[in-house]
Structure formats: C-alpha cells, structure tokens
Amino acid sequence: MKIDIWVLLAIAFAGGAGSVIRVLLGRWEGKLPYGILLANTLASAVGAWVLIEVGGGQFTSIALIAGFAGGLSTFSAYVGQTVVYWRKGRLLQGLFNTILQFGLPSTAVYLVALMTGTLIN
C-alpha cells in the first residue's frame, strides 16, 4: 500500500491543530474536566459530520478525521482524570465524568446525523 506524502502532511498539520486546541480547552476545569468533555464532544461531532457530508476515504476526510478529530480527542486524559477522582475518594465525580465522556460525544454524533437529515431519510 502506497501512502501519499501529502496525505501524511495534511494529517500531521490537522492533528497538530487539533492537539493545540485540545490543550487550550483542557485548561477549563471545574467540578469536572469541562474542556476535555468539550474536546471529545467536538471531535465526535466533526468526525460524524465529515463522514456524513464528505464521505470516507477522500483526502479531506482523512485529514479531518485522522488528523484534526484525532488530535482534538483524548481518551487518555479522560481516564487519567477519572483515576485521580477515584484515588481522592471522589467516586461520584469519576462516575459522572465517565457517563458524560461517553454520553455527550454519542449525543453529538446523533445530533449531527439528525441535523444533516441522515436520520430522517
């Protein structure tokens, strides 16, 4: 399988942009890691929108999903924050964080599909 250098560069550039945005959003914390929640939710929404509107396998799709959405989302930050909550005895916060980290991105995918008419057809 031959990989085009331009595709790799697009993924690297978009991934870098997504990662920088994630780091900036990650600074927003309160009772829960709101920035990481937002980053993961936006990454899921972007991925859904690209797959629905652009289609898979195209240059733009690959750069936006593998690069931007991949750089923007983070499973490891969610896990790390949840473990910290549990170690501090804040089990309810850890549980609520887990529910939101899966629920909000899934809801974002559903809403994008609904707004683009995919679920209506």
Q: Say how far apart CA 22 and CA 1 lie, in whole Å.
A: 32
Mean pLDDT for 78-98 is 96
For 30, the token pair is 């309160």
Q: Say how far apart CA 11 and CA 1 lie, in whole Å.
A: 17
Q: Is residue 120 predicted with pLDDT exceeding 70? A: no
Helix (H), strand (E) at residue 71:
helix 70-72
pLDDT of residue 1: 53
pLDDT of residue 55: 73
Strand, coil or helix: what is 80? helix
Question: Taking a C-beta distance cutoff of 8 angstroms, is the pair 78, 108 a contact?
Answer: no
Q: What is the pTM of this model?
A: 0.88
